[in-house]
Amino acid sequence: MNAVLSMWTVCARPADYPEHFTARRSEILREGGVQPTEDLMLAPTLGELRAMLQAHDPNLTRLGRMPADEPVIVEVWL
């Protein structure tokens, strides 16, 4: 497997799910770059989505958004 690390990107009401918060999983690749997966979580609130991520993997760590992130991005979990 080429993935080194899974990353969940949390977004607030993206265009394809305007009524939800979403978490989409990507894989950070050993050779560099990021590969999106089809893994998706949806929740009506940020708190519910965070609880889902923690239940999925209690070892995940939440990182705040970076200044260069798209405005819809709330945080990333590694």
Written as six digits, the tokens of 6 are 């899974």
Give pLDDT tens digits along the chain (78 positions).
Answer: 577 899 999 999 999 999 999 999 999 998 889 999 999 999 999 999 999 999 999 999 999 999 999 999 999 999
The residues near 48 (Cβ < 8 Å, ≥ 6 apart) are 21
- Reduced to 3 states (helix: H, G, I; strand: E, B; else coil), residue 50 is helix
Judged on CB neighbours under 10 Å (0-12, 13-18, 19+), 69 is middle
**Strand order across the beta sheet in which 3-12 lies:** 34-43, 21-29, 3-12, 73-77, 62-64
